[in-house]
Structure 1
Amino acid sequence: MGADREGSGRRTPTRAVTYAVCGVVLLGGCASMPDNGDLRGVESTPRQDPQVRVFAMPPAEDAAPSVIVQGFLEALTSNDPQYETARKYLTGDAAKTWRPERSTTVLEGGAGTEADHSASRADADDYSYSVMLTGTRVATVDAQQSYSPAAGEYREPVHLSRDPKSRQWRIDRLPQGVVMGKSDFQRTYMSVNKYYFASDTAPKAGAGTSEQPAVVADPVYVRRLVDPLTQAVRSLISGPTSLLGPVVRSSFPTGTELADDDPLTPDDRNTLKVPLNAKAAEAGADKCDEMAAQLLFTLQNITPAVDEVELTSGNKRLCSLGEDRAEAVATRGSAQRPDYLYFVDSNHRLVRIAAGSTATHPEAVPGALGEGAKALRSVAVSRDERSAAGIGLDSKTLYAASLVPGSSLGDPLLVSEGRTEEDRLAPPSWDAQGDLWVADRDPENPRLLFFEKGAGEPVQVRLPGLDGRVQSVRVAADGVRIALVVEKKGERSLLIGRIERDGRTGEQPAVTVVGLRSATPELEEVTAMSWAGDSRLVVVGRERGGVQQIGYVQVDGSTPEASVPAALTGVKEIAATEDERLPLVAYSEDLIVRLPAGMQWQKVTKGTAPVYPG
């Protein structure tokens, strides 16, 4: 539990603050809680520099019960690794049974307090005091460190008792976990991608995919200034979160743990030595390399100071892996740089421009789709850039063709029976398997379909629990996550789910999308979206009563620490790639425009439907 400090008020001596870079920084504006009276919020200061280190102060002698609660809340926003100072505000028994690691509840403006007059009063002769913590939920972080958006009222009781001998007030009953305001959470925690291997994405012959297994980013939140590197390693070794558990695997043998409690620190050669217990020694050479790859990918999104990892067990060196070998062990979406950006030109043909270039004159792609054999509305290009799919100008038909000179178009893979263009086929998407996905928006028969290897008969994807109609689809580079824009009662939201595949080799697979959850709970209309990182998407949308905006969201529904793209009006489509170095591209006001890093939107040429491979 903790306070979200925004605004000003009477300061209480509950903590001292020191910095990490160049001096002493004082956090002002911590309001005291009332000894009695009506509801009053625990006020907060504006969001602080993430590098500011906050240290809690122990309870003052003869502090009033309200000040004890206030001090405890403040102590939980500090950088105390084991919450030792926070426990000093608890009775001995409460300190033993309280489990701060169980969960973190994030509130919109911090915890308010409401004195329980019917339960007790805190005067000189009383030994009991009760207060209710209140607020509006924003999110929760569970024991696996997984973030989930939340809503609704927060009300949890806290009880204090007075020691008959020392006459000091202490908290003896409190909710498990911690609670803090949104700005304190953003200052105190950081998002980290753990990496696991996709368990159901073995490459298929002829699909043009890599022989290496794909890694999947599993975002968790760790405390920013409490040795985040070691926290992330422990979390990685402990296994994936429940959201991804059914579709990923870890190469760490069951029971593997760090061999000691010492912080992990890279040496002057940017090598991190990771000491593991005896269980890790059970892994063979190939598995050890995979363990090292998981570690390296995870650590490199925390710090640039790790170029190599070395795994040991006891006095035995198990293996080591550097950047040069890691990409040979596994493929990662953010490390795959596409060759081209694709879009539909004014002649309704599929054209392309070199990815990341400043070119403004596209070339037609080789084959039928670039020759204008069929006028196109939207397109998708496979991740190996050898095949493409196109939706006809009336959104009624789906075609696929190879991107080689002389390729033919053939019969359509799919024909929608929708009466209007808006009720027919959505833009398609290719996954890492070389499979093609498309949504048929026909109100009479709405379906999400996929074509194995981009050909053959469509397989209808099961969507248990889906409430609404799929308007657009994008499959992640990892092959196990899918983003869907779903319409319900006039509102369009972005949902993220995991792909589960069943079926033996040679049989038509059964495909299900499960675990769907909102990534944009604050938006009522999502216009366009695209994957923009291993666990990040760029979204064009509008809040209730607001104007259209472009922003980034994490797959877990949190907001990543990334600069907001420059404003652009009238965006109908947007394209990004997991390689975050490449510019965003959009279709706006009948033009293709791009946003190079650190610059404003630039005109490219006339055209529609921009896409990177995927």
Structure 2
Amino acid sequence: MRRAGVAVVAGMLALALAGCVGIPTAGGVNDGAIINDQDSPEFVPLPSDPIPGSSQQQILIDFMQAVSAPQGGYSVAKKYLTTEFAQTWNPDASAIIRVGGLQIDQLDARTVSYTISSRASVNELGQYQEERETSEQPLTFVFAQEKGEWRISQAADGIVLSQSAFNVAFREQALYFFDPSYAFLVPDVRWFPSRQTASNRVVTALLSGPSSWLQQAVTTAFPDATTLGEIAADASGTTVDLSTEALTSTPQDRDRMRQQLVATLGTPNVSLTVRGLELATPDATGNRAVVNPTVDSAVLVGANGTAFGLDGGTGVTPITGLSDQVVAAGATAADLSSDRQSVAFLGAGGVVFVALAGDDKATVIDDRPDLTVPAVDPFRFIWSAQRSSAASLATFDLSGDVHEIQSGLPADASIVSMDVSRDGARLLLLLTTPVGPRLIVAGIIRQDNVPIKLGEPIELPVGAEPPLDATWVDNKTVATVASDEAGALITAFEIGGPSISLGRVQGAVAIVGGNGGTDGLRVLASDGNVWRPRGSEGWVATGITATFLATKQ
């Protein structure tokens, strides 16, 4: 094996970049034999055709720049391939996002390896996967001469992009599906190349159904086997042409189909046609599904065992019919229903209570030992489990009747926190296990709104630091608090997207979501102070103090 000379290839790269026009974005990109990305300024070269007389390594370097342009079906990138290989190479099979530098090695007279470090990738369905740790990935490229010029003749399907190039070449897109009650639209986040036909791929993905982990937890209004004809957009709105399967839909289904398209495409005016003929669709004004449920902006707190209610900074306002019951039962943690008619809470003795508006006294519904903080869902079910065994998860109705659920959770995993999404379609669990922390989101499978099973969970790349708490940020993002040597780290995880550090709050012990994405987060410190994020200032004190923060459904 012969390793390519660093100076030689780096010099070739410099010559290549010198003749490139580029788009500025936000940090630096340098591809070469052993090249490290610079932090600033970020620069994504615009692709150009192959330069006559280029070596194999130069062709590879320029090809890697060309794949950052998906326009025309990666037409420029395909010019770096042999005519035969260009017919079969599938750039949409995957996108590997590289971090840091890369290394190019000449393996033999016609083979070059391209070794990168990566932590995230996007598959052919547009599903983003981020790993906990960065791993090294060697890729092999075989070359052949065509008309006297080197071209790539063999390589894996898919593309490799720096983070900066990925940010330009791909865009995030949420596909929306209904929960089984049709009261909510649930997002399924995907990533697609930014090109003129992107909306076609988005709607095609919507018609293909949800990601596997959401199947059975959500549903679609489109009849089976419905396919896309074409999409036309003008100043008056967007027209989506569907196959004849759409003719079997009921008027109500058609309205729901339109609701899914409106939410997914982000446009208010969508018309449906079948083979160019309008598909009559009623407008369900007043019965539209909720996309991202909101809550009261004030923080829900428990204070010194004497108060429970909403605090916007001027003191605690009790919740009529509930607060007195919560305080009387010695609550230490709570979850309030969206209609404010019930609250589940952990009370004196560590048992789970439910308080109903209009009752005089809260009722014990789960008296097993070592219970975690309960969660409520929009369908008036209470979720409860023993901390030491995730497999002990059960749900209760407001009468106290237990409903067993097939969770598939491991008995040797302990629950740190548990929260149901506001749409009731997903369960967030922060666990400790023998191999370290796990942060998972599972689809909730229901029968007549009763939870009966959890779907196969999706794993989020939580770190190894001791976990303290987790919460829903909005309908597609969650956040955690974890203890580390520098304090308590707050991290946001997009479900189907990247994670991002939100900084630290010294002594943080709990976190709850609100409105407005991460701006709505509130963090409780061990000294009782409640903190919130404020742009470049980081985390600032709200002036509110509490014994515990409660969740608002």
Structure 2 match to 1:292: 258
**Out of 425, 438, 444, which is 2:384 matched to?**
438
Distance 1:613 1:156 in 2: 48
Taking the TM superposition and a 5 Å limit, the aligned residue runs for 1:107-256 are: 107-109=98-100, 111-116=102-107, 120-121=108-109, 129-150=110-131, 152-163=135-146, 166-199=147-180, 202=181, 212-224=182-194, 226=196, 228-256=198-226
Taking the TM superposition and a 5 Å limit, the aligned residue runs for 1:562-573 are: 565=502, 567-573=504-510
**Out of 360, 363, 366, which is 1:407 matched to?**
360
2:452 corresponds to 1:495: no
**Out of 416, 426, 442, which is 2:368 matched to?**
416
CA-to-aligned-CA distance 1:75-96 (integer Å, 9 cap, x gap):
1112434011111111111111
Q: CA deviation at 1:69?
A: 1.1
Change (3 A) 1:547 1:98: farther
Structure 2 match to 1:538: 479
Q: CA deviation at 1:489?
A: 3.8
2:69 corresponds to 1:78: yes
Letter of the 1:517 counterpart = I
Change (3 A) 1:476 1:273: same
Distance 2:201 2:406 in 1: 38
Name the one with the larger strand percent.
2
Q: CA deviation at 1:219?
A: 0.5
2:495 corresponds to 1:586: no
Given that 2:471 and 2:513 are in contact with CA atoms closer than 8 Å, whether structure 1 keeps it comes out as: yes
> What secondary structure is seen at the aligned counterpart in 2 of 1:539?
strand
Distance 1:467 1:133 in 2: 41
Letter of the 2:481 counterpart = V
Distance 1:446 1:469 in 2: 9
**Out of 517, 534, 552, which is 2:492 matched to?**
552
Q: CA deviation at 1:484?
A: 0.5
CA-to-aligned-CA distance 1:345-386 (integer Å, 9 cap, x gap):
112543224xxxx44211233346525321111111112211
2:288 corresponds to 1:329: yes
Change (3 A) 1:90 1:327: farther
CA-to-aligned-CA distance 1:281-315 (integer Å, 9 cap, x gap):
33222111111111111223xxxxx3322222344
Structure 1 match to 2:241: 275
2:371 corresponds to 1:425: yes
**Out of 416, 424, 429, which is 1:471 matched to?**
416
Q: CA deviation at 1:553?
A: 1.0
Structure 2 match to 1:345: 303
CA-to-aligned-CA distance 1:494-534 (integer Å, 9 cap, x gap):
212222346x89xxx67332322321344533322211111
Q: CA deviation at 1:581?
A: 9.1
Change (3 A) 1:400 1:25: closer
> What secondary structure is seen at the aligned counterpart in 2 of 1:153?
strand
Distance 1:466 1:187 in 2: 44
Q: Aligned-residue CA RMSD in angstroms?
A: 3.3
Query: Which residues of structure 1 form unaligned runs of 5+?
Result: 1-6, 34-39, 122-128, 203-211, 301-305, 418-423
Change (3 A) 1:581 1:284: farther
Given that 2:377 and 2:424 are in contact with CA atoms closer than 8 Å, whether structure 1 keeps it comes out as: yes
Letter of the 2:491 counterpart = G
Structure 2 match to 1:527: 468
Structure 1 match to 2:396: 451
Given that 2:529 and 2:543 are in contact with CA atoms closer than 8 Å, whether structure 1 keeps it comes out as: yes
Given that 2:425 and 2:443 are in contact with CA atoms closer than 8 Å, whether structure 1 keeps it comes out as: yes
Distance 1:610 1:460 in 2: 27
Structure 2 match to 1:36: none
Distance 2:148 2:105 in 1: 23
Q: Percent identity?
A: 19
**Out of 260, 264, 270, which is 1:309 matched to?**
270
> What secondary structure is seen at the aligned counterpart in 2 of 1:243?
helix
Change (3 A) 1:27 1:153: closer
2:352 corresponds to 1:398: yes
Given that 1:15 and 1:56 are in contact with CA atoms closer than 8 Å, whether structure 2 keeps it comes out as: no
Given that 2:388 and 2:412 are in contact with CA atoms closer than 8 Å, whether structure 1 keeps it comes out as: no
2:341 corresponds to 1:360: no
Change (3 A) 1:490 1:79: closer
Given that 1:189 and 1:224 are in contact with CA atoms closer than 8 Å, whether structure 2 keeps it comes out as: yes
Given that 1:17 and 1:27 are in contact with CA atoms closer than 8 Å, whether structure 2 keeps it comes out as: no
Given that 2:473 and 2:520 are in contact with CA atoms closer than 8 Å, whether structure 1 keeps it comes out as: no
Given that 1:434 and 1:454 are in contact with CA atoms closer than 8 Å, whether structure 2 keeps it comes out as: no
Given that 2:46 and 2:65 are in contact with CA atoms closer than 8 Å, whether structure 1 keeps it comes out as: no
Distance 1:435 1:87 in 2: 55
Letter of the 2:360 counterpart = S
Structure 2 match to 1:611: 550
Distance 1:235 1:228 in 2: 11
Taking the TM superposition and a 5 Å limit, the aligned residue runs for 1:369-384 are: 369-371=323-325, 372-384=327-339
Change (3 A) 1:143 1:29: closer
Distance 1:48 1:198 in 2: 44
Distance 1:491 1:581 in 2: 26
Distance 2:26 2:534 in 1: 35
Given that 1:437 and 1:449 are in contact with CA atoms closer than 8 Å, whether structure 2 keeps it comes out as: yes
Letter of the 2:308 counterpart = L
Letter of the 2:510 counterpart = E
2:70 corresponds to 1:104: no
CA-to-aligned-CA distance 1:47-71 (integer Å, 9 cap, x gap):
878xx98641111111101111111
CA-to-aligned-CA distance 1:462-504 (integer Å, 9 cap, x gap):
32457622221011122221111110248433212222346x8
2:532 corresponds to 1:595: yes
Letter of the 2:270 counterpart = V
Q: CA deviation at 1:227?
A: 5.3
Distance 1:148 1:602 in 2: 35
**Count of residues in correspondence between the two structures:** 538
Q: CA deviation at 1:231?
A: 3.6
Distance 1:84 1:467 in 2: 52
Distance 2:155 2:49 in 1: 18
Distance 2:408 2:148 in 1: 60
Change (3 A) 1:597 1:76: same
> What TM-score, normalized by structure 1, do the two folds share?
0.78
> What secondary structure is seen at the aligned counterpart in 1 of 2:499?
coil
> What secondary structure is seen at the aligned counterpart in 2 of 1:234?
helix
Change (3 A) 1:272 1:471: same
Letter of the 1:500 counterpart = I
Larger deviation, residues 144-153 vs 591-600: 591-600
CA-to-aligned-CA distance 1:413-472 (integer Å, 9 cap, x gap):
11233xxxxxx22211111222111221146x9622211346223535532457622221
Q: CA deviation at 1:275?
A: 2.9
Larger deviation, residues 585-594 vs 474-483: 585-594
CA-to-aligned-CA distance 1:173-209 (integer Å, 9 cap, x gap):
101122223333233223221100123xx3xxxxxxx
> What secondary structure is seen at the aligned counterpart in 2 of 1:93?
helix
Distance 1:583 1:608 in 2: 19
> What secondary structure is seen at the aligned counterpart in 2 of 1:248?
coil
Distance 1:513 1:547 in 2: 34
Letter of the 2:374 counterpart = P
2:20 corresponds to 1:62: no
Name the one with the larger helix percent.
2
Given that 1:57 and 1:75 are in contact with CA atoms closer than 8 Å, whether structure 2 keeps it comes out as: yes
Given that 1:190 and 1:221 are in contact with CA atoms closer than 8 Å, whether structure 2 keeps it comes out as: yes
Larger deviation, residues 447-456 vs 592-601: 592-601
Distance 2:399 2:44 in 1: 53
